[in-house]
Amino acid sequence: MKTIFQFQLTLLLFIGIPYCGNAQFKWPHGAKAAVCLTYDDALDGQLDYAIPQLDSAGLKGTFFCTGNSPCLYKRMDEWRKAAKNGHELGNHTLFHPCLGVKPDGSKMDWVSPENDLQNYTLSKLMNELKTANTLLKAIDGKEQRTFGYTCSDCTVGAGVSFTESIKTLFTGARSDGQIPETMNGYNIYKTPSWGVNDNSAEDLIAYINKARDKGTIAVIMFHSVGGGYLNTGAAQHRQFVEYINKNRKDFYCATFQEVMNYIKNNSK
């Protein structure tokens, strides 16, 4: 059997048909994997470093904006300009509520009682998300929107999931988790991502190369760029986006909304 396989592989290569051992999904333009660069909380460093570096490399990112972000309030014209230039503004709630106590029992001491998802009802959360959508529409004029789960939490009250409920508001949603082994059954409303923190450019490059090897998708969750909490250094970020730019043939790098729509429309 091994000999037959080797003969078939040799024949394919001889007649010019490439062998794609990890080809699981047909990405645009022959790319081997998809990459989504996402940024949370609408922070100054994203305007000062991330967006200029993305623009320089010809790449577009998704910025999950928290409605009460001081940067969103003070620099709204710059966010509006970024959206006009092709970057996506995603919904990240108004007040960034998270679970005060995680399912594994760990405590998030920084979460105030009024912003604890355990003290939310489903209707309260949905109203907050609808209002955040209205705010973002006032900035970019768009009606289609994606969502970034705050702290990657997806339940309210005593563990009530809101993943199904948000499908009426959003075209996709980002959570956390490992690079998928396959695109079969990929849930665009619970997409896994890697939350980075003080990682090197080499770490970031190795991560998207894993997705390339598997033929799937890498979604990266940035926060601060160039200084701040959950930070990625400006130099490391620049090196990373330049690597993607130089290897465009391998990576379908687009906004989160564009990639989620592509997966939805091309999944079997």
Task: Tell me the longest C-alpha to C-alpha distance in the chain.
Answer: 67
Query: How large is the average pLDDT for residues 161-170?
Result: 98
Is 121's pLDDT higher than 70? Answer: yes
On average, the pLDDT of the chain sits at 93
The percent of residues in the chain predicted with pLDDT above 90, rounded, is 91
Is 19's pLDDT higher than 50? Answer: no
Burial of 209: CB neighbours in 10 Å, binned 0-12, 13-18, 19+:
middle
As a whole number of angstroms, the distance between CA 122 and CA 132 comes to 15
Is 18's pLDDT higher than 90? Answer: no
Per DSSP bridges, beta strands 33-40 and 251-253 are parallel
Is 153's pLDDT higher than 90? Answer: yes
Q: Which CATH class name applies to 37-266?
A: alpha beta
pTM: 0.91
> How do residues 199-230 score in pLDDT, each as one tens digit?
999 999 999 999 999 999 999 999 999 999 99
For the chain, domain boundaries: 37-266
> How do residues 51-62 score in pLDDT, each as one tens digit?
999 999 999 999
Q: What is the DSSP string of 114-146?
A: GGBGGG--HHHHHHHHHHHHHHHHHHH------
Is 165's pLDDT higher than 80? Answer: yes
